[in-house]
Amino acid sequence: MKILITGAVGFIGSHTAERLQSLGHEVIGVDNFSPYYSETLKKLNEKALTDKGITVIQKDLRDEDLVSSLPKDINYIFHFAAQPGISKTSTFEDYFTNNILATKNLLDYALQLPDLKMLVNIGTSSIYGLEATFPESMAAKPASHYGVTKLAAEQLVLQKSREKLLKSCSLRLYSVIGPRERPEKMYTKLIACAFNNTAFPLYQGSTTHLRSFTYVGDIVDGIVSVIDKETRVDGEIINLGTEVEHTTQEGIEAVEKVIGKSIKMNHVEARAGDQLRTKANIDKAKKLLDYNPKTTLLEGVKKQVEWYKTNFL
């Protein structure tokens, strides 16, 4: 199949692109190389993709000419491109345009594809709100501009399924970790602090936060397993993540254990909208996708440390 991945040079999109290509699909990536974080890292990810024969188109999904700029013979779309995370440096405009307008533009394009089997939207546990421990039927109560705009994007996509204009589903991911994790996220930052002997900015009160820290390979397993299940998953929201919870403190200790040194902490003000507890309820993913994430936190951290050492030391 010919598959389009939006946000292809980002963290999870790049892993998914590689996996789909290794499964024998023709993969085309699209990404605007957003300046939200280091272009160097995105270029590194792009090189890994192009070295494997994956085409990457540099294009902003918000551009008015999107419909005429992308190939028409696409069979599947995985939509990762977004303004991710909760960050003081991201404006409401950033979330609104990259999450809602870009998704609307992508849908206008998708609706013109004669051979499209499915559009898979990548959602987030942030849609649930400060606590994300629920099945998909739970009402959304997002507590950040990120969560609100990702909810709107998800609904824009699923609306097309309800109207029977195309087949789609939305996968809500939980705290993804592993090689290529975004530089502003916890594990990449912890690893960088450990190797550079700098202090880790620890958000006030966050050590007891609980998270379903899920290894990126296990997330990609769930994402690609949608293929050939289009009828079963059409119109559905499905959580993807591990059922194993860890505190932020346990995450810090895992990095210290793998690297073999303690990390200095710099206590900083808590982030508004930061989730208190995420625990993926994956009963639906097990039923519909045979989903079974297996990687432990320590195994995931080891792989992420190896990736960091190879590329940044």
Ligand X SMILES: NC(=O)c1ccc[n+]([C@@H]2O[C@H](COP(=O)([O-])OP(=O)(O)OC[C@H]3O[C@@H](n4cnc5c(N)ncnc54)[C@H](O)[C@@H]3O)[C@@H](O)[C@H]2O)c1
Residue 11 binding ligand X, by CB under 6 A: yes
Q: Tell me how far apart the alpha carbons of residues 234 and 301 are, in angstroms, rounded to a whole number.
A: 34
**By rule CB under 6 A, what string of x and - marks binding of each residue 18-57 to ligand X?**
-------------xxxx-------x---------------
Measured from the CB atom, is 167 or 172 closer to ligand X? 172
- Report the nearest approach of ligand X to the CB of residue 241 (Å): 9
Residue number with CB closer to ligand X (70 or 176): 176
Whole-number minimum distance, CB 197 to ligand X, in Å?
26
Task: With CB under 6 A as the rule, give the number of residues binding ligand X.
Answer: 27
Q: Does the footprint of ligand X cover residue 142 (CB under 6 A)?
A: no
CB of 232 to ligand X, least distance (A): 22
Measured distance CA(289)–CA(283) in Å, rounded: 10
Q: Residues 157 to 196: which contact ligand X by CB under 6 A? A: 173, 175-176, 182
Q: Specify the stretch interacting with ligand X by CB under 6 A; choose among 11-19, 226-234, 276-284, 288-296.
A: 11-19
| Listed ranges 7-15, 189-197, 229-237, 282-290: which one lies at the site for ligand X (CB under 6 A) | 7-15
- Cβ proximity to ligand X, 35 vs 114, nearer residue: 35
Site string for ligand X, 63-92 (x = CB under 6 A): -----------------xxx-x--------
CB of 85 to ligand X, least distance (A): 7
> Shortest approach of ligand X to residue 202 CB, angstroms?
18
Integer Cα distance of 132 and 224 in angstroms: 23
Given candidates 12, 70, 210, 305, which one binds ligand X under the rule CB under 6 A?
12
Which is nearer to ligand X, 81 or 202 (by Cβ)?
81
Q: Residues 169, 284: contact at Cβ < 8 Å?
A: no
Q: Does 277 bind ligand X (CB under 6 A)?
A: no
155: contact with ligand X by CB under 6 A:
no
CA distances to 85, 100, 182, 185, 195 from 37, in Å: 12, 20, 8, 11, 20
Closer CB to ligand X, 187 or 200, in the complex: 187
DSSP helix/strand/coil, 105: helix
Rounded Cα gap, residues 161 and 138, in angstroms:
20
Kindly state whether residue 109 participates in binding ligand X, applying the rule CB under 6 A: no
The residue of the chain with the least Cβ separation from ligand X equals 10
Nearest approach in angstroms of CB 312 to ligand X is 16
Q: Name beta bridge partners: 6.
A: 30, 79
Three-state DSSP at 28 gives: strand
| Minimum CB distance to ligand X smaller for 267 or for 300 | 300
What does the binding site for ligand X look like in residue numbers (CB under 6 A)? 7, 9-13, 31-34, 42, 60-62, 80-82, 84, 98, 102, 122, 124, 150, 173, 175-176, 182
